[in-house]
Amino acid sequence: MPTIGLIANPVSARDIRRIIANASNLQIADRVNIVMRVLTAAHSLGVERVLVMPDNGGIRALLQRHLSRGHSQHQKWPVVEYLDMEPTSTVEDTFQAARLMHAAGVAAIVVLGGDGTHRAVVRECRSIPIAGLSTGTNNAFPEMRESTITGMAVALYATGRLSAAQALAPNKLLDVSINEGAQRDIALVDAVISTDRYIGARALWKPEALSAAYLTFADPQAIGLSAIGGLLQPVGRRDPGGLAVQLGHHPQPAALRLLAPIAPGMVRPVAIAHWQAMPADQPFAVLQQGGVVALDGERELAFDAGDRVQITLRENAFPTVDVARCMQIAACEGLLRLPSTP
Amino acid sequence: MAGNPFPLDKPALLEAYRRMRTIREFEERLHVDFSRGDIPGFVHLYAGEEAAGVGIIGQLGDGDRIASTHRGHGHCIAKGVDPMAMMKEIYGKKGGSCGGKGGSMHIADLSKGMMGANGILGAGAPLACGAALAAKYRKKGEIAVTFVGDGASNQGTFLESLNLAAVWNLPVIFVVENNGYAESTSRDYGVAVDSYVDRAAGFGLPGVTVDGTDFFAVHEAAGEIIQRARTGGGPALLECKMVRFHGHFEGDAQTYRASGELDDIRANHDCLKKFAAAVTGAGVVGADELASIDRAVLDLIELAVVQAKAAPLPTAADLTTDVYVSY
Amino acid sequence: MARKISMKQAINEALDQEMTRDPLVIMMGEDIVGGAGGNGEMDAWGGVLGVTKGLYAKHGDRLLDTPLSESAYIGAAIGAAACGMRPVAELMFIDFMGVCFDQIYNQAAKFRYMFGGKAETPVVIRAMVGAGFRAAAQHSQMLTPLFTHIPGLKVVCPSTPYDTKGLLIQSIRDNDPVIFCEHKNLYGFEGEVPEASYTIPFGEAAIVREGKSVSIVTYGLMVHRALEAAAALAKEGIEAEIVDLRTLSPLDIDTVIESVEKTGHLVCVDEANPRCSIAADISAQVVQAAFKALRGPIQMVTAPHTPVPFSPVLEDLYIPSVAQIGAAVRRALAGGSH
């Protein structure tokens, strides 16, 4: 039975960038609407079962209210099953959900969240293709896309009407290692070194506290810290390699200053010391002694002076569902045409 | 390990710990004494919620006002209300914060900007709007903070206050202490959409959700919101997800909780343990320094109880005083 | 010869003079300025019946129009009072108290007592009371008994422009929460009012007519009905003494008792509904304190135990009439029968 997974993060887009910038707040009610659109669209193309990450942040409770109203003539959806896990309201929930979905062998995972949520899924589940929907603050990684179409594309792949070669795209990531693997993590878009040494409210927005940024891709149309690269030397998602940027604060002098949209509505000058291409599989050693590595915009790994932090870019590291290509092929090959009589 | 990675210096960290520990031991002692029948009336304990109260109120001055809930001991202590006077008040004695005439649910100290614990849920929100309005006229950058629970966030007073604060651009902060229960009713039942940030968004107010058991997360988010309010940036909402260690009131058998839930809360979501681990783990504070604070706090609480029990009762003449300033 | 102004003008003047004198006095209410946020004239209304018109031009942003949310803004006025301001909030119709009553009776009224004498809540809540405007059940009530019942509140209900100005200034200077009741049907009533600022103490009733046959104790609009009834009774040789209570809390029961000791007969006239009314309250207090002075049973003239009807003919039957007051006096003098 074609089964997909769905991980919807209730706490993305809830942090302090609502206060210090004009970051959007996507209401729980709207996130649930997005989920419903994915469910009904996927069902209409043959997905019969969806495994959903449970949460205590309001999505499950409201989704249940919707689902308990039952099917109508306008709306039908697959069987919705919640994973057997106890939510902790931390990123651990996303890790756990990804592991369980991997074990359950879902065909694909639809993710609602920002960069951090997508990172968490990929960290625990590299082999299953993900289809991202941006409901976070930065959304450099997931696409801004109508969820109905994502549901359709994922369903076409999950039911086998599109092959992996047709439906999936390869993606880069960054391997982050402290002290030769004593701590490991990944980033999908950016690993940024901050001089702040505590995790606190997690979000990173003060440019004076940044010392380096390592980017898998650098899109001039993105916001967030990857915009620093995107506006220096753009690198596409499917281009080889990434970009390593040393930010200019003492002791490194600035070579130039760059205006970059580092948070929603926030365009700030950032001092740049130096930047270079970052080829795949070549470890870059972090120069800063003591600080925090922020992964995809959130402070995650603290390290002390003397710790050895290395960042290595990997190509073809994990697959995503290429929704645009899926729909294009579906149109050209008539995959959505039905016989004239039912 | 070198230096202090936290945004508070060591004295401030110790002070934060001291305030949180004072709240914890005050409440835990009341829990014990109440079960022995020593305390009249109702008490509603804040144990487990300290990081939110201190993380926010610790950044306020005497000129800033707070309006509290029925579960107000933590807010009082965080705001600098004298615990000795509080204990006498809870025992209904003369020398209590309110002369024995208010009790646990109505402890107030206007000299410290504490506008009172309140037995009417949601009533503090309009009052805090008024305090913020007064602060606006005074032009000294002072603000007001009002606390509500997940349940009281359904009260009309709260929702009306969000709108009023937005319309008048008041320097008021709405803190939702979301501990998951309105008395015995889970928020999954009683709150149509479990997001208070979304409610604020409906009135055009920005909001942030933080882990209320993480002192540093609360401190950072609250700091930005407070600063914004002080400088004319207007109202905002801070949702603190937290846990309460005890029942709604003392004597509540808490059969509405899942089995093992309370043990799990104490083991895994104790904000004081988390704070202690963070500051000792970073080498900024020694475990012995915290232990020394613990002992001093226990001594203070013991003294407060002894003095409360020994304090005189109000007299019949006290019954009819202070209804009016003059009549 | 002092000039004559209406009660409405007296209110406006009292507010203006106090706001000029004390920068801590602020005002808030729905449409008290009017026109806020629109494209037309600011101060378009100056209150739904124009009572506060012109104050905005003089005092600017110390007058705040409010959104339609009584519990929020009445509560805000109370909170601001507790923090040192002297707000005058308008509850447009006293009938709206239901949506904000908690802030008034559980918060403002009780702060001083609950907080052991350390709180002062100098808030004035002005509200229109009374029937006769054909405004129907939810805009015409005389809810003075509900507020009078609450310890911690003061309740004022003047009957003349002179009393209105002096009592309103007193209310604003008073350090306790005051419910200041303005009878909407007296807004246009004119009387002599000094131009200077003056106060009238609370807890002092006024003898508006002296007499020795019967004491009619009343307040608000009913004072005028009683005066009309007294004029008619005088032709029958009955000289009614009329005691205008002016403030219901604190209550000047001593003046009432003195009057009853002089006349021996008491008629209480109250526009409120009969159960637990001011009339019932006065009657019981007089019986307890001055039973021996009474030479006959007390009569109470009140509205009936019904909501205020809309149809003018019914509303006119609802409000205690001159004839009903006269009949009550005759019953009182005749020992209570017929």
Assess whether pLDDT exceeds 70 at residue C148: yes
Assess if residue A26 is contained within a domain: yes
Q: Which of A213, A188, A191, A85 is nearest to A130 (CA)?
A: A188
User: Domain check: are A195 and A298 in the same one?
Assistant: yes
Give the tokens for residue C179: 């419910």
Question: Could you report the per-residue pLDDT of A148-166, keeping only the tens digit for each?
Answer: 999 999 999 999 999 999 9
Do C81 and B130 count as a contact with CB atoms less than 8 A apart? yes
What are the DSSP calls for A147-207, one per residue?
Answer: HHHHHHHHHHHHTTSS-HHHHEEEEEEEEEEETTTTEEEEESSEEEEES----TT-B---G
Residues of C in contact with B160 (CB under 8 A): 67, 69, 71-72
Assess if residue B1 is contained within a domain: no
CATH at residue A213: 2.60.200
Q: Which chains touch A (3 or more CB pairs under 8 A)?
A: B
Mutation target to probe the B interface, by most B beta carbons within 10 A, among C66, C113, C155, C252 is C113
Question: How, if at all, do strands A291-295 and A190-194 pair?
Answer: antiparallel
Assess if residue B317 is contained within a domain: no
Angle between helices C161-173 and C7-21 (to 10 degrees): 30
User: Domain check: are A177 and A271 in the same one?
Assistant: yes
Give the tokens for residue A254: 């600035």
Domain limits for position A249:
172-316
- What's the pLDDT band for B141 if we cut at 50, 70, 90? very high
**Structure-derived torsion over alpha carbons of residues C319, C323, C328, C334, reported in degrees to the nearest 10:** -170
Assess if residue A306 is contained within a domain: yes
Predicted confidence at residue A139, as pLDDT, reads 78
User: Domain check: are A147 and A53 in the same one?
Assistant: yes
For residue B241, give how far its alpha carbon lies from the nearest alpha carbon of chain A (Å): 9
Contact B314, B99 (CB under 8 A): yes
Give the tokens for residue C103: 């802030």
What are the DSSP calls for C58-87, one per residue?
Answer: HHGGGEEE--S-HHHHHHHHHHHHHTT-EE
For residue B162, give how far its alpha carbon lies from the nearest alpha carbon of chain C (Å): 9
Question: Could you report the per-residue pLDDT of B64-105, keeping only the tens digit for each?
Answer: 999 999 999 999 999 999 999 999 999 999 999 999 999 999
Residues of A in contact with B207 (CB under 8 A): 14, 18, 25
**Identity of the amino acid at A110:** V
Residues of B in contact with A89 (CB under 8 A): 211, 241
Domain limits for position B276:
10-311
The residues near C248 (Cβ < 8 Å, ≥ 6 apart) are: C144, C147, C148, C155, C156, C157, C219, C278
For residue B1, give how far its alpha carbon lies from the nearest alpha carbon of chain A (Å): 7
What's the mean pLDDT in A202-211?
77
Contact C114, B101 (CB under 8 A): yes
Do B194 and A196 count as a contact with CB atoms less than 8 A apart? no
Burial group, residue A332, by CB count within 10 angstroms (0-12, 13-18, 19+): exposed
Predicted confidence at residue B302, as pLDDT, reads 98
Assess whether pLDDT exceeds 60 at residue C90: yes
Is C183 annotated as catalytic?
Answer: no
User: Domain check: are A238 and A151 in the same one?
Assistant: no
User: Domain check: are A149 and A192 in the same one?
Assistant: no
What's the mean pLDDT in A244-265?
84
User: Domain check: are A155 and A291 in the same one?
Assistant: no
Assess if residue A14 is contained within a domain: yes
Do B216 and A27 count as a contact with CB atoms less than 8 A apart? no
User: Domain check: are A142 and A263 in the same one?
Assistant: no
Residue A192 bridge partners (DSSP) = A213, A294
Assess if residue B83 is contained within a domain: yes
What's the mean pLDDT in C60-64?
94
CATH at residue B34: 3.40.50.970
Give the tokens for residue C11: 């209110």
Write the CA distances from B326 to B33, C173, C174, integer angstroms: 38, 12, 9
Q: Is the dihedral of CA B46, B51, B52, B56 positive or negative?
A: positive
Do B325 and C175 count as a contact with CB atoms less than 8 A apart? yes
Residues of A in contact with B3 (CB under 8 A): 197
Give the tokens for residue A5: 């997974």
- pTM of the full predicted structure? 0.85
SS (HEC) of C236-281: CCCCEEEEECCEEECCCHHHHHHHHHHHCCEEEEECCCCCCCHHHH
Q: Is the dihedral of CA A242, A248, A251, A253 positive or negative?
A: positive
Predicted confidence at residue B1, as pLDDT, reads 42
- Among residues A140, A161, A182, the one where a domain terminates is A161
Assess whether pLDDT exceeds 80 at residue A15: no
Assess if residue A12 is contained within a domain: yes
Instruction: Tell me which chain B residue has its CA closest to the CA of residue C120.
Output: B325
**Identity of the amino acid at B41:** G
Helices (H), A217-332: 226-230, 323-332
User: Domain check: are A17 and A149 in the same one?
Assistant: yes
Eight-class DSSP state of C150: S
User: Domain check: are A85 and A110 in the same one?
Assistant: yes
Give the tokens for residue B80: 């600098």
Assess if residue B323 is contained within a domain: no
Assess whether pLDDT exceeds 80 at residue A225: yes
Q: What percent of chain C is predicted at pLDDT more than 70?
A: 99
Predicted confidence at residue B87, as pLDDT, reads 97
Question: Could you report the per-residue pLDDT of B281-307, keeping only the tens digit for each?
Answer: 989 999 999 999 999 999 999 999 999
User: Do A and B touch (≥3 CB pairs < 8 Å)?
Assistant: yes
Do A25 and B217 count as a contact with CB atoms less than 8 A apart? no
Give the tokens for residue A179: 């002290």
Write the CA distances from C189 to A35, C7, C135, C158, C208, integer angstroms: 65, 6, 19, 12, 16
Assess if residue A321 is contained within a domain: no
What's the mean pLDDT in C302-320?
94
Predicted confidence at residue A199, as pLDDT, reads 62
CATH at residue A15: 3.40.50.10330
ipTM of the complex: 0.83
For residue B235, give how far its alpha carbon lies from the nearest alpha carbon of chain A (Å): 10
Distance of CA B122 to the CA centre of its chain: 14
Do B120 and C87 count as a contact with CB atoms less than 8 A apart? no
Predicted confidence at residue A300, as pLDDT, reads 84
Assess if residue A11 is contained within a domain: yes
Q: Which of A267, C326, A200, C244 is nearest to B7 (CA)?
A: A200
Catalytic annotation, pick one of C59, C139, C224, C265: C139
For residue C152, give how far its alpha carbon lies from the nearest alpha carbon of chain B (Å): 5
Q: How far apart are the two ends of chain B, measured CA to CA in Å? A: 66
Question: Could you report the per-residue pLDDT of C159-206, keeping only the tens digit for each?
Answer: 999 999 999 999 999 999 999 999 999 999 999 999 999 999 999 999
Residues of B in contact with C174 (CB under 8 A): 325
What's the mean pLDDT in A57-83?
88
Predicted confidence at residue A249, as pLDDT, reads 67
For residue A302, give how far its alpha carbon lies from the nearest alpha carbon of chain B (Å): 10
Write the CA distances from C184 to B216, C200, C235, C273, C279, integer angstroms: 57, 21, 31, 18, 21
**Identity of the amino acid at C206:** A
Residues of A in contact with B192 (CB under 8 A): 62, 65
Predicted confidence at residue A203, as pLDDT, reads 64
Predicted confidence at residue A250, as pLDDT, reads 58
- Domain count for chain B, please give it: 1
- Domain count for chain A, please give it: 2
Assess whether pLDDT exceeds 70 at residue B205: yes
Predicted confidence at residue A201, as pLDDT, reads 54
Residues of C in contact with B130 (CB under 8 A): 75-83, 85, 87
| Mean pLDDT, chain C, integer | 95
Mutation target to probe the C interface, by most C beta carbons within 10 A, among B105, B137, B138 is B137
Residue C106, classed as helix, strand or coil, is: helix
Assess whether pLDDT exceeds 70 at residue C1: no
User: Domain check: are A135 and A207 in the same one?
Assistant: no
Contact A273, A252 (CB under 8 A): yes
Predicted confidence at residue A200, as pLDDT, reads 59
Do B130 and C102 count as a contact with CB atoms less than 8 A apart? no
Question: Could you report the per-residue pLDDT of A298-332, keeping only the tens digit for each?
Answer: 878 989 899 999 999 999 999 999 999 999 999 99
Do B7 and A200 count as a contact with CB atoms less than 8 A apart? yes
Do B193 and A197 count as a contact with CB atoms less than 8 A apart? no
Nearest by CB: B163 against C64, C69, C111? C69
User: Domain check: are A199 and A283 in the same one?
Assistant: yes
Assess if residue B132 is contained within a domain: yes
